[in-house]
Chain A
């Protein structure tokens, strides 16, 4: 039997058994606070690491007897506020409010996803002072004996491995972001 499905299906859909939500405004307030706390905690952990770095390099610069090492430590110290700013800036933007249309929301997500793409200029801005500072510190403590070479070489090796892994990870992240942007664009195209 083929009747027009409109009213029947609407009634069927709206007549589903549902558990009436029992969330009170107070419970929602608590959830909102939890979400905000979690986002802030992440940012504060990052900031804590930056502060630790600043204190550590400041202390190193203070106690080291080698002038070149002190210069390197001070360069690292100067880099920590930049890192703190970057960590703070990485916090997700607040979601559009109820006034946003679905299209607006899709655009918002696209912008958020696009932000996750590795920004090579930003990475260079972070890594260049960091590596320059490390190079200066290394130059200051450059081994004079065979034993000191043995101590320093594993660190250099680990650093080289980290660099290779980091570059591979950046490439992978780039591909993932591009895939997700394509998905979102397809979604947007379908919505129009």
Chain B
């Protein structure tokens, strides 16, 4: 099997297995439908390109998430130039009074909407950890993808879990 064919085959397998996760990730990074489609397309292009250099030193899952998050981070950087977007850190969001939160004011809303609102309010590095956590990756895998130390990931996950628990306890389960 030549290299190009191998790349195509790996891409097809990765896209089939992780297509849903890529789309969920894109939703968390891009609110608008049209740029989100572009982002998904960019992630697929980056994934296909990167798979030419995939050497199996990490799992395909780790590789796909790393490429997807890197591309999304690039997208956020580009969008900042035209539309300033300022996420907040987990610490800031924890300190923020829930009464100021638009989703709380809106009354009963779907749990997923609230979850998405919390995630989209996070700064990209915290958002990345939150998304990987929700995709059920463990701290070691998250550290491998983000380049953060295992300790830093553990702290962020702990804060995230506390934040989510508090928000959902205050708002009631959906």
Instruction: Find out whether the CB atom of B112 lies under 8 angstroms from the CB atom of A16.
Output: yes
Minimum CB distance partner of A96 in chain B: B70
A interface size (C-beta, 8 A):
46
> Interface majority SS on B: helix, strand, loop or mixed?
helix
CA distance A12 to B112 in the complex (A): 7
Interface residues of B, Cβ cutoff 8 Å to A? 7-9, 11-12, 15, 19-24, 27, 40-41, 44-51, 53-54, 63, 66-67, 69-70, 73-74, 77, 80-81, 89, 111-112, 115, 123-126, 128, 133-136, 145-148, 152, 161, 164-165, 168-169, 172-174
Interface centre among B21, B22, B46, B147 (most CB of A within 10 A): B147
Question: Which residues of chain A in 1-20 are interfacial with respect to chain B, using CB atoms and an 8 Å cutoff?
Answer: 1-6, 8-10, 12-14, 16, 18-20
> Interface majority SS on A: helix, strand, loop or mixed?
helix
Q: Which residues of B contact A180 (CB under 8 A)?
A: 80-81
Instruction: Find out whether the CB atom of B111 lies under 8 angstroms from the CB atom of A12.
Output: yes
CA distance A142 to B23 in the complex (A): 66
Interface centre among A14, A104, A190 (most CB of B within 10 A): A190
Instruction: Find out whether the CB atom of A106 lies under 8 angstroms from the CB atom of B73.
Output: yes
Nearest 8 pairs between A and B by C-beta? A101-B147, A2-B169, A98-B50, A191-B125, A25-B8, A28-B48, A13-B134, A103-B147
**Distance from A90 Cβ to chain B, minimum over Cβ atoms (Å):** 17
Instruction: Find out whether the CB atom of A187 lies under 8 angstroms from the CB atom of B125.
Output: yes
Interface residues of A, Cβ cutoff 8 Å to B? 1-6, 8-10, 12-14, 16, 18-21, 23-26, 28-29, 31-32, 35, 95-106, 109, 180, 183-184, 187, 190-192
